[in-house]
Amino acid sequence: MTQPDIASLPRVTYTNLGDDFSSVHAHIDAILHDTEQRLLGRPHAHLIAGKPVAEGPGKLVRSPIHDGLVLGDFPDASPDLVARAVAAAREASAAWRTRPFQSRIEILRSGARALASRKYEIAIACLIEVGKSRFEAIGEVEESIDLIEYYCAEMERHNGFAMPRPAAVGNETSTLTLRPYGVFAVVAPFNFPVALTLGMTSAALIAGNTVVLKPGEASGLTASLLVSCLTEAGLPDGVLNLIFGGRLTGQALAAADVDGIAVTGSHAAGMDIHRAVASGRYTRPVLAEMGGKNPAFVTASANLDDAALGVMRSAFGLQGQKCSALSKCYVARDIAKPFLDRLTALTAAIAIGDPRSVAIFMGPIINEAAAGRFADAVTNARRDGTLIAGGNRLSGDIFDHGAYLAPTIVADLPADHGLNRTELFVPLLSILLFEKLDSAIDDANRDEYGLTAGIYTANSAELTRFLDRVEAGVLYANRASGATTGAWPGIQSFCGWKGSGLTGKGGLGPWYLPQFMREQSHTIFARAARS
């Protein structure tokens, strides 16, 4: 059967899910089996200075979809091997940082084209590795391509971040420029193994840094594919190095002789790295996105159909395993019943199962540790509140081979209950009723996090108060496609406030790339030649 030109297939983003994607599904159906056979179950090696290094104890990593699906055998990098990877990046740094920025972005754009040509292969790997739905996985690869293109365009738009300045005296020229730091460590999470990995890595490379990348322990397969796309596009040896491993490998990388660290993970992990780096001989940049406890507000004037759909999608998309996932929803008391009727009906209709199937919205949660966290949360919710929907682990058929959880809604928990203040990363949504919007916003602002927030209202004064007063970096209003989720490169930046970020400047936006560089002033006096 002849396969279509994938460039002719509809483009999948996080907000165009109402379009006709029958041709996309047909293409995935046609290639799914062969792609699995080709990608899964293979041994993998680290990549250091352009050479595969099969060193360290191997670990079989299994798909969360089914315990019989082996993603591959990935070695754990020792501290010594981490140091070798950093040394390789250091060796390659001088040539890469002095390379004209136009040449660097040409290579990265070639890598983006390689990603586009392998879009569905990488999406299938992402789907199986994380348990994402088809749309989430394809959209993530599309986002990654756009991330590279956007950061390349920003480098061009700013002429490599070189700015002529006025001369103080005659025969003198002054220029301000941003220069790369040197070697960046990139520590990526499991939940967006393509977009978050490439967002941090591509920005570091475009800015002129070399990189040592450690993907999430569960997401080495997609990392291998991404690195192969970039290296085959022409990255010189040592510019991008890949190491596998778990928490100890990540700690060794964060403590290594690097010039900066980009990390996405929990608040605790990000702050641990930040404190460790701050205690060194001199500070180095730590660009950390550290999760959220994201609220949405549904006011009495809201379109309840849009609100219920947006709340459901953001609370239970990717099984609640997004740092932008909706965690608690403040609902005006007067419309609580009709809103909850709509929300529970949508939640009951969610298709849960093997996300390789077309109709599935929710797949499994990533592992048993997360399932245990969910079980503990449900126990506390039953004890201290009212369980409205879900609360159980599914069983039977494929459900017995992975951690498949029912989307769960709880109400009547005290505002300061742990489930209302702690990031859970599971499919559990807390409902809180309010009389006054200002009071609800005040309560949400008491969280240590400040990543995303959403509102549903037809009242312009309410919208203005929300935009002015909510302490979060990514705000949405009246979005049926997602109450708190759905940022896209060049459109919405993704900036964490308070405990959700360190720098006040987010990825996907115009102020992210400069954080991988530092300022330098050039003043040159042109002395007349001797006669």
Question: 126, 229, 323, 495: which one is catalytic?
Answer: 323
Closest CA to 189 of 226, 217, 224, 222: 217
Specify the DSSP element, H or E, that contains 302.
Answer: none
User: Across the chain, which distance is largest between two alpha carbons, in Å?
Assistant: 93
User: Which whole-number Å values give the CA distances from 107 to 118, 208, 450, in the listed order?
Assistant: 17, 12, 36
Question: 143, 217, 289, 462: which one is catalytic?
Answer: 289
Q: Are 453 and 470 in contact (CB under 8 A)?
A: yes
Question: What CA dihedral angle connects 403, 404, 410 and 415, to 10 degrees?
Answer: 40
Q: Are 265 and 189 in contact (CB under 8 A)?
A: yes
Q: Record the tokens describing residue 480, joined without a space.
A: 């049926």
Our answer to whether residue 289 is catalytic in this structure is: yes
In the three-class reduction of DSSP (H, G, I as helix; E, B as strand; rest coil), residue 240 is classed as strand
Rounded Cα distance, 408 and 219, in Å: 26
Specify the DSSP element, H or E, that contains 414.
Answer: none
Rounded Cα distance, 147 and 190, in Å: 18
Q: Record the tokens describing residue 254, joined without a space.
A: 């964060």
Our answer to whether residue 229 is catalytic in this structure is: no
Residue 99: what are its φ and ψ, rounded to 5°? -65, 140
Helices (H), 213-322: 220-232, 247-254, 267-278, 304-316
- Residues annotated as catalytic are 289, 323
